[in-house]
Structure 1
Amino acid sequence: MSILGLAASVPTVGPSHFDIIKVLRPNILALHPYRCARDDYQDGILLDANENALGHSITRSGSSDDSIFDLDLHRYPDPAQNAIKERVDHIFLGVGSDEIIDLLMRVCVAPGKDKILITPPTYGMYSVCAQINDIAAVKCPLELTGAAGEGGESGRFSVRVSEIKKAVDADPSIKLIFLCSPGNPTGTLIPLSTVRAILDYPNFKGIVVVDEAYIDFASDDASAVSLIKEYGNLVVMQTLSKSFGLAGVRLGVALARPPLIQVLTNTKAPYNISTPTAHIALSALAPASVSAMRSNIATLIASRKTLLSDLAALASLGVGQAIGGNDANFVVVPILGADGQPDNTRAQHLYRSLAEENGVVVRYRGSEPGCGGCLRITVGTEEENRTAVTKIREVLSAV
């Protein structure tokens, strides 16, 4: 069976054990996508989509830049968004990475039958989407070595490839493997050699999904995008939310070989990317904006280093050494008890006191595997970081 909309001349790529037709659900392969009004024609007197021909009814405030209201907001957006896709080969656009996660499950994983594999501690939406779609999640926890409180070493996380292979061997119903790199909440970058080892494993017939929401805060050659030309069983997700500072726009991207991109395109909602989102995204991808983004990354990486140093200076108050790889725009530190071990009760007290009494909001992660007693602290502005460290010192000094 062929994939609707994909030219027969599109070449397939490795590995030899992978066949995308066998991974996709039969009902998805048989799907005829909804035809949008804008699929055929986008110019002229448009009387085909039941839009409001008089335009939008937003009254200009006159006190701010309202240029976005000059867009044709009364018209449905371009369903293809080719202006954005022309910047990158083999790309699918979603409403944040979350839409892509959900869509991949609906395309590849049969509810109540097939499964996904995750590596906790990891991004929580993998499990949430799985439960919504009636999909079981097999868990292969990351390996934590040198945990905080053990000889003063900083904990490090790594993917246990041997355990993933064992899980795949034991359960051939696993269709998707989700790897978060750099991880959330671990901040740990997964080496490309590890990703390759899973992609090349002949007993796994499904697709490896590498979530790179924080990749721009890691080294330049760390992205798994470089592997797409070789592997048809790889999807790489990225987003404009983090390094581009556009979390409010909600635009995520999936990069993969054409067959899977075509299937995602066939399955998505007709007009999933709004006109304002596309307009802002194109502005963000302009050379000057990309340059500004890279400058901001450099500033945040320098601030991350300073924040880690300032937090380390609070060791006498029970702030342990940061765990993870520190390859993202956040750090994770354990709060220790009198015995020098991670203390969830003390961490929760600090978390609540910071937010409710001191106006500093961080994230409690102590319930995650390997993250006992941990708080996740996003790298803010220099002033925000200084204030956070000061308030942490004050709260811990009082208990």
Structure 2
Amino acid sequence: MFELKNVVRPNILTLEPYRCARDDFKTGILLDANENTHGPALSDITTYEELLELNRYPDPHQLELKEQIVSFRNQSPNKYSTSLLKPENLCLGVGSDESIDLLLRCCCTPGKEKLLTCPPTYGMYSICATVNDVETVKVPLTIPDFQIDVEGILAKLESDPGIKLIYLTSPGNPTGKLINVDQVVALLKKTIDTWNGLVVVDEAYIDFTASNGEYSESVSTLVNEYPNLVVLQTLSKSFGLAGIRLGITYCNIDLSRILNSMKYPYNISSLTSDIALKATSPSGLAVMHKYVKSILQQRETLLKSILDLKYVGRNIGGLNANFILVEILNKSGKPSNEVALMLYNTLAVDNAVVVRFRGKELNCTGALRISIGTEEENKELLLKFEKVLNEINA
């Protein structure tokens, strides 16, 4: 039976959170936080910068921003949802990477407990695990559909009691493939009574998936049904705000309280918070949906054109993200890391077009990952892509 106290490290369970100056009072003559009361050291300060009060520490709780985020996600819940998200379900971080690391520090005893990943997947999971002295064990995604192997994961959990976390990416990176929601829920149900650990679903690209009518493919609205579920999201992709570094962790309220106690005080800057508030407002969401629609249209056009090129094989991945994963062939028509790597380097160095070589990822031989650009960028990519690839295979 799942019990949070058996998942979180004992020293973290007893952690007394740091109390910030802004936990108690936010208005008045504030002389409690050793701030510079003269203001920010800027020779020219705009009205906008004045309103942000950059000489003051930011709000440590970000309640207004959390309310806007849960309002957005609650508008289209997952088909399995029976309750709504609350602001208390959220922990905000400096990008999803802070949350990835935070969960490892929260749950895994260094040198003893382990993380399970399903390659091919996002590389930061194993990097954060290594930094925290946490061993990574792997159960590969199934081929060719890049779905999770539920029975394989269950078998690994049964044979290795040291595993405390499972990190899944949906839609996948570099696969671009949404993990079937039914499989995620099946894994949650099968593990909740037999394993004390967390299933973490990283949904960085979730807004590029097609919604199922009134329902969303996101499992973020399931965290109150399944206490063993944690969901990560970001404003970097669909919201086009990679530069502000804002990540969102959704989880049960008890775990959220612990994660918020662990994070560093004032980790979300006033600048980040202000931009995020605008982006998650009704007008900001309208812009996000407009851009996502355009990206999806361009993805369809680019993929059709690139698959028509000589020496381009299959679309290896799915169509659930703002990128495609295509197979590059040699003269013999075989997937080739050598040709793909040469194409990648020549495009970047000689043609100022930068894509990503992913051929060393499991079951991705010869693969290039290509982000969807603007219509003009995609046209230039296609021209140079075809020219360089034909020259390499001449």
| Fold conserved between structures, TM > 0.5 | yes
Residues 2, 194 of structure 2: 8 Å contact kept: no
Residues 168, 203 of structure 1: 8 Å contact kept: no
Distance 1:376 1:219 in 2: 21
- Residue 42 of structure 2 corresponds to 58
Instruction: Give the superposition deviation at 1:198.
Output: 1.3
Distance 1:66 1:373 in 2: 52
User: Given the alignment, which residue of 372, 377, 383 partners 1:384?
Assistant: 377
Superposed, which structure 2 residues align to 1:1-399 within 5 Å? 17-60=1-44, 67-87=48-68, 88=70, 89=86, 90-145=89-144, 156-201=145-190, 202-220=193-211, 221-314=216-309, 316=310, 318-399=311-392
Instruction: Give the superposition deviation at 1:66.
Output: 6.8
Secondary structure, aligned partner of 2:313: coil
Instruction: Give the superposition deviation at 1:227.
Output: 2.1
Instruction: Give the superposition deviation at 1:341.
Output: 1.6
Distance 2:209 2:377 in 1: 22
Secondary structure, aligned partner of 1:157: coil
Distance 2:127 2:229 in 1: 22
Deviations 1:243-290 (A, max 9, x none): 000000000001111011101011110111001000100011110110
Residues 113, 135 of structure 2: 8 Å contact kept: yes
Higher helix share: 2
Deviations 1:9-50 (A, max 9, x none): xxxxxxxx2111110000001110111111111111111111
Residues 179, 211 of structure 1: 8 Å contact kept: yes
Q: Pick closer, same or farther for the CA change 1:203–1:340 going to 2, 3 Å.
A: farther
Deviations 1:273-332 (A, max 9, x none): 001000100011110110110011010000000010110110x2x111211112100000
Distance 1:341 1:20 in 2: 49
TM-score (norm. length: structure 1): 0.90
TM-score (norm. length: structure 2): 0.91
Deviations 1:337-371 (A, max 9, x none): 12222100100100000000001000010110011
Residues 60, 66 of structure 1: 8 Å contact kept: no
Q: Pick closer, same or farther for the CA change 1:385–1:66 going to 2, 3 Å.
A: farther
Deviations 1:230-254 (A, max 9, x none): 1011011111000000000000001
Residues 171, 179 of structure 2: 8 Å contact kept: yes
Secondary structure, aligned partner of 1:241: coil
User: How big is the alpha-carbon RMSD for the aligned residues of Structure 1 and Structure 2?
Assistant: 1.2
Secondary structure, aligned partner of 2:384: helix
Secondary structure, aligned partner of 1:113: coil
Distance 1:172 1:192 in 2: 26
Q: Which amino acid in structure 2 is aligned with residue 194 of structure 1?
A: Q
Residues 177, 320 of structure 2: 8 Å contact kept: yes
For this pair of structures, how many residues does the alignment match?
368
Secondary structure, aligned partner of 2:258: helix
Gaps of 5+ in 1: 1-16, 146-155
Q: Percent identity over the alignment?
A: 51
Gaps of 5+ in 2: 71-85
